[in-house]
Structure 1
Amino acid sequence: MSLPVVVGVDGSEGSLRALDWAVAEAARSRLPLRVVHASLWERYEGVHDVFDTERPSEEIIAGRLVAEAAERARRLGPGVEAEAVVLAEDTVTALVEESREAALVVLGSRGRGRVAGMLLGSVSLSLAGRSRCPVVVVPAHPSGPPAHPGRVVVGISDSVTPAPAAVFALERAAVRRGELVAVRVWRSPAHGPMGHPLISGSPAASCHREAEEHLEEVLERLDPTGSSGVVIHRSVVRGPTHQSLIEAAEGAELLVVGARRSTGWHGFRLGPVGHAMLHYAPVPVAVVPDARSR
């Protein structure tokens, strides 16, 4: 049985945009859809005073919310097999558990509650750092130029073996019958005379050539026979990684980055590039863990 596309909903505008994105992704990927609302979501985000006894029952609110979300999903994707559930757990805990048996988890960049005015909600950031499968965070308000149909952008890591992020990006481009933009970012050497990247013999030119060669080697291993049917564009750029990826993502349908996590006192946390993409990228961002862990 195929793993589902899981989408977290809380009734906010951001979660409705995430739901719409998830329905479209499930339809094009021919995957089932699982709509999830964690019953402690609003308390987690701090909407209600826990001593407020006059608010409507959380169970009633949650049931109504998922019913409306399921109906919206059926209208948008009549051919998608969908189910909707309410889970009596903290939102992040619930979605992390869902991620163990999901193709991907989708949610909006902003949820309900006092954090709704922030650029990135606490649930989105926490889940992206702890999920066992790819997480797609959909911006509450799209920005930049209209999306180029089918374009997926991915940052290429230092490894010559295609990272899970690159594999996922190729798959997303293939189901869209679209194109993949593979971005390899390089930085100038810390010491030595600097020259233009294309001036033969300069340290910068050497770094540029090495980046080009590295990108070619990764792509040869990623799709050696071209069987994916995806047109792959190469982009070798000099500069800060986060800035280069944000610029490359303009006009794309999806930006894909890897999750290099480091262990801290609170478990896992995202690296600086993934963190920056979730805050500032103008398009949906997929954060792909280095390896699936159940």
Structure 2
Amino acid sequence: MTIPLVVGVDGAEAGLEAVDWAVAEAARHTVPLHLVHAAAPEQEASDVINAASERAGKDAPAVRLSSEVLHEDAASALVGEGHNAFALVLDSRGLGDLAELLLGAVSLAVAARAGCPVVVVRGSAEHREGRFGSVVVGVEDGEGSDTAVGFAVREAHAQRCGLVEVHAWSAPIGTPPGTSARCVVRPRAGAWYALEAHRRPPAQVLGDALRGPAEQYRGTSVSRRVVEGPARHALLAAAPGADLLVVGAGKRHGHSGLQPGLINHAVLHHAPCPVVVVPQI
């Protein structure tokens, strides 16, 4: 049985925009779409889920739909649904009757706890509707972003658009290029790579990250950006030209769920396009 794409709905316009995005995503990947509404009175819940289902059915009649009302807090309900989901899709405003919380608190909680990719649908219509032809993925050194890169390549292939790999690096603090035995110095177009000896050159980091996924999804156009500075700044700078921004999240030590971190908090709050947080497997 094919696992579904799950979308949380709350009846607000932002929630319906998330439904629109999820319908298109389910059609791209030929997976069922499961609509979930949580923590509301029975009659209101019925109205909300019926309206969302009707909208989804009109947008993509070929997508197999199901729906469910769960009488528990929205974050816990969605995290539970994510145990057997292709991905969870949320709006950036939050879900359920949790108006006393800060904007997007439920979405942030789900992104921090879910065990599957979490898509937070945000930004203008042109970003949500795929008008830029670009998926951006953040790539870090090591294995922390492997699953995110795999998701991004598959998504670029499904959307028939280009993939942009972004890798940010920083020279050791207080070490001028070429003066430390612990640095590997490489000239680049008037600038310098000053890397700690145990780190790989950025071009190698990007190449290694894509090697496996590129073999599986041949024909995807790939471009690469190496940026000196904080990763969150590099990703937010690339996001205005993206239909989707993909970032990875490492496992918490001793706890279930993901570790959002400073980078993911920044893009979830400020990116002008939909954001996907992908857990490391």
Which residue of 1 is the match for residue 182 of structure 2? none
Q: Please tell me the residue identity of whatever aligns with 2:57.
A: R
Which residue of 2 is the match for residue 205 of structure 1? 193
CA-atom RMSD, angstroms? Answer: 2.9
Unaligned stretches of 5+ in structure 1? 42-57
**Cα drift, residue 250 of structure 1:** 1.3
- Count of matched residue positions in the alignment of Structure 1 and Structure 2: 269
8 A contact 2:79–2:113 mirrored in 1: yes
Which residue of 1 is the match for residue 276 of structure 2? 286
Which residue of 2 is the match for residue 97 of structure 1? 80
8 A contact 2:249–2:259 mirrored in 1: no
Please, which moves more after superposition, 101-110 or 212-221? 212-221
**Cα drift, residue 61 of structure 1:** 0.6
Which residue of 1 is the match for residue 205 of structure 2? 214
Equivalents in 2 of 1:220, 1:71: separation in Å? 42
Q: Please tell me the residue identity of whatever aligns with 1:108.
A: D
Which residue of 2 is the match for residue 21 of structure 1? 21
Q: Report Cα offsets for 1:119-170 as digits up to 9, x if no partner.
A: x411100000001100000116568899544311000121168611000001
Equivalents in 1 of 2:169, 2:104: separation in Å? 31
8 A contact 2:144–2:248 mirrored in 1: no
User: Residues 261, 63 of structure 1: CA spacing in aligned structure 2 closer, same or farther, 3 A cutoff?
Assistant: same
User: Residues 265, 135 of structure 1: CA spacing in aligned structure 2 closer, same or farther, 3 A cutoff?
Assistant: closer
TM-score (norm. length: structure 1): 0.82
TM-score (norm. length: structure 2): 0.86
Point out the structure with the larger strand share.
Answer: 2
Unaligned stretches of 5+ in structure 2? 179-184
Q: Please tell me the residue identity of whatever aligns with 1:91.
A: A
Which residue of 1 is the match for residue 181 of structure 2? none
Identity of paired residues, percent? Answer: 42
Equivalents in 2 of 1:134, 1:222: separation in Å? 17
Equivalents in 1 of 2:240, 2:110: separation in Å? 24
Q: Please tell me the residue identity of whatever aligns with 1:289.
A: P
**Cα drift, residue 206 of structure 1:** 4.3
**Cα drift, residue 213 of structure 1:** 2.0
Q: Report Cα offsets for 1:15-58 as digits up to 9, x if no partner.
A: 111111000100111111000001x25xxxxxxxxxxxxxxxx1
Q: Please tell me the residue identity of whatever aligns with 1:275.
A: H
